[in-house]
Each structure stands twice: as structure tokens, then as C-alpha cells.
A and B are shown apart, each in its own frame.
Chain A
């Protein structure tokens, strides 16, 4: 009898544990949103750009330029792609302030470059056209 009760208890435990696991697995897969250039771009931005340009794109006074409403971000896509792919170590003046840190070349895929540039051009109050993978490919080929 004792063993019977124990085995029932054990059974209940196993069942509840496995259903608990099911819940976890469901939860893991549930919030998967549809992947867009903006969601993917944010992931790239967080990993590669945020440490210097900051979470809100405001940069660091005197060191790392802001990405908010500047001609660098909103202007020529060719320049933007070049900065990302080749890096950038020139004097930057934005609104009378100078920024001194160099930007290293980023080893990103064409897809990542497209996503992150689209994200930056449409975040922090910026509004500009997306940068497509085809555009990235074409602009990169001109750099070589």
C-alpha cells in the first residue's frame, strides 16, 4: 500500500514535471515575432554599434558621433556602406562639435549591413529609405 501511494506520487511528480517542461518549451517558441529588417537590424545594432553609439543613438560627446538626424545617416547610402565596411578614421564635425574615436571596419554579411542601416535610418527619430541587400551588394562592389 505504502509503495502504491509512493508510486502514484512519483507518477504525479513525473507528469507535472514533464508538463512544466512543455510549458517552458511553448513559452520559448511563443513570442517569436516575424523577422523584419528592423528587428534583425536592432540585433546587429545592439551587438556591434551600441557600445559606442549608445542605446538611443546619441553617441558620446567629443568621442563617438550621434546617429540622430545627421547627414551621415540620412544622406548618401554609398558613404554609409563604406563607413561600415571599410571603417572610418577621419575628423567628423556635426553641428560644430568634433568626434575623435575611429570606427573599425565591421565584418558583417550583406544582409546584416542592409538590416542595421535600415534600422539606424529609421530609429532614434530618423526617417529615411531602407537600404536593400541589392543596394549593399552594388555599393560594396564599387568599393573594391
Chain B
């Protein structure tokens, strides 16, 4: 009798457990995608999954922002072809964000350095424990420390070096503190640096500052259509530090998160200006004499799109596949990590957006493509969000993959005719 009772208890516990696993795997949030698209969870619990890269065979490399078992890169493989990544291997003893595949190499970045790993014919890393260090000693002062990477078709690698400051104030994030004249940190940060992809042990002196005036770029991609670099900038926080010009609501909705095509020598305008998406103008930052209205007349690129404020664009991908309908071809997907700097207003973002492109320019309004990652209707704090979109990759079959750096879930979004 006692045995039977124990068995029942055990059986119910076991059933409860398997239910929980099933729920974690598929049903903990409902991702909304356009009609004709489907989405599925292809991996879960991977860790703090930042950027991702897919091989020609469909294997996935994931860069982690926190070590799991002492490792910072995860390799995922689907051994039985059911679409779920059932095999994992880890390597790389450093945290970071950037990961990219090009010409038989896997490139990955820590918050200070950039490495590469030679791949075999199957896209497997040959020497996981001995990468080649391409670049080292990049500025990392914690704030905006991630080094996102992308390669062009001419053997160059582009590395974002974020500004270790919000708005280059004398005292960072201090109410009323004015901007440092000539913002000196731009000499080694707040821009995109270009290095040789196949040259070992480069430092700042071996690279070139390809573009400047970008506070922090996490999402960037090389557009194969027009052979150009495109970036998404994280706009500045806390305009309320100048309450004479900005109330809480205004500060929650300014400035825009901006999307740029970046030519060599391009300037994003940070910290001297920001983009106001409501009036569609570049405005002088309050730290540099602005009053919320004065237009900026200095040199700065005009953004292609001004998205709502603070949504944290962490992933950018130009879609080159043939699976999705024609309107998506050569357009840009953007993974918005989701805001924190909007309180007391509700937080925004936590979705993947799409911008249609034609002839190298946006050809229509941006739209939300995949939503619901947060899993709650009203997002009051980022901690409430169950998942946060971060990295994007395009599979060999043209499906779109989205990583989540909160729970380490990898989503696959496909179109069915």
C-alpha cells in the first residue's frame, strides 16, 4: 500500500516534470508572425545568446555574454533532421557579442579582442582551443562594451567600439553636467573601426577609424546588394538630465533609434546631436548648448529610419533568401532588445521589425514582423520580459533565426506557400 502510494507520488512528480519541460520548450510565449509564416523553438536554455551565425549546413554558432561551463561559444547541430538542435558543443573561454562566418572562418569577439577559427569543409571549427587573435586591446570600460563584427567582400572586418559614456558629459549621467568640448573619447571609441580580416595581432594603430560619432552600435550588417555597411545606433539615454527642456514623457520618447548607411568617414553626430523622429530633424544635444529645439547644422549623416526611442536595436540582417515573399527580399530585419529607459511609461520594443528596401533605400514604412517575445502585455521593467530578441541569422533554406539573450531560446521563423 505504501509502495503504491509512493509510486503514485513518483508518477505524478514525473508527469509534472515532463509537462514543465514541454512548456519551456514551446509554449511559454506566443510569437506573433505575419500570415503564412510559422515559428518554432529550435533550441532552448543555450545561455546569454547574443549574436548568432549559421553555416551552409544549417549548424548554428552562438556567442554568449556569460560563460556556461567556462565556455563562451556554443555550437548547435541537428543530428536527426527534425529541425531541433539536439547536439551541443562549447568552446572559447571569453564572453562577448560578435560572431560572423565568412570565407571558411568563424569570427568571434570578446569585449576587448577579435578572434577567428578555421572551419573544415563541414563548417566545423578545427581547433576550438587555439583561435587566431586578429585584434586586441580595444577599449572596454564596461559601458557599451560589446564589439559587434561584420566582414565586407574585400577581406576587411568592421568592429563597433561603443562610447564608454552616455552623452560625453563632464560627469557621466549627472543631471545638468555639460559635454566635454571636442569629446576626446571619439579618438578610440564611439565609432566603427576597420581591420584586416586575415592579419594577426592588430591593435588600434593597424586599423582605421572607418566611421565616427556612433554612441553604440550593436546591430550591424554588410548589405550585399550595394556592397555597403549599415548600422543601427542605440540613441542616448536620459534627456531628463536637462529638466528645463525635457519632461519625463518627452525623454521617454526621444531620441530616435537610428538606422544608417555608413560610408567611409561617415559621422553619426553623437554626442553633439541626436535625431528627433517627430520633427525629422537633427537636434543639438542639451550637453552642447541645445534646448530641445535648436537644429544641428554640423556634419552628421541623416538616418534612413528613425525608430521610436530606447528600444535597443541589437541585431540587423539584410534578407537575401528566396523563401520569404518578394517584399522581404533585400529588406532589413532588426531585432529590438527592448527598452529600460522609459519609466514611468511602459517599456517598448522586444520585437523583430522589418524595413522593406528597393534600390538600396527603404521603400516603405517599417513594420513589426515578429512580436510577443516578452510574453507579457504590459512591460513595466525589462526584468519582466521572458525573452529578449538579440541576434539574427539567415539559414541556408532562407528561414530567419532569432536569438534571445535572456533565457537562451533560439527561434526559427519560416514561410510556407
Contacts and interface: CB of A to CB of B under 8 A. Distances in A.
A91 B343 CA distance: 25
B344 interface: yes
A50 B66 contact: no
B340 A64 contact: yes
A51 interface: yes
A64 B240 CA distance: 18
B185 to A, nearest CB: 14
A100 B66 CA distance: 14
Nearest to B238: A51
B414 interface: no
B171 interface: yes
Given A102-B172, A105-B171, A55 B343 contact: yes
Nearest to B382: A60
Interface string A50-67: 111011101111111010
Contacts of A56: 380-381, 383
Contact of B344 (A55, A59, A60, A107): A55
A107 B174 CA distance: 10
Given A104-B171, A104-B175, A54 B343 contact: yes
A88 to B, nearest CB: 11
B142 interface: yes
A92 to B, nearest CB: 9
Prevailing SS type, chain A contact patch = loop
Contacts of A25: none
Given A55-B380, A61-B382, A104-B174, A50 B344 contact: yes
A126 B344 CA distance: 22
Interface string B141-176: 011110000000000000000000000000111110
Interface string A90-107: 010000111011111101
Nearest to A62: B65
Contact of A54 (B65, B172, B174, B382): B382
A58 B142 contact: no
B332 to A, nearest CB: 25
A51 B143 contact: no
B341 interface: yes
A63 B143 CA distance: 8
A4 B381 CA distance: 62
A102 B141 CA distance: 10
Contacts of B240: 51
Contacts of A91: 142
Contacts of B406: 61
B382 A97 contact: no
A87 to B, nearest CB: 8
Contacts of A104: 171-175, 177
B383 A59 contact: yes
Contacts of A46: 344
B141 to A, nearest CB: 9
A55 B381 contact: yes
Contacts of A58: 381-384
Given A50-B343, A56-B381, A62-B65, 12 more contacts: A46-B344, A50-B344, A54-B340, A54-B380, A63-B340, A64-B340, A91-B142, A97-B66, A100-B143, A101-B143, A104-B173, A104-B175
6 contacts: A52-B340, A89-B172, A98-B142, A100-B144, A104-B177, A105-B171
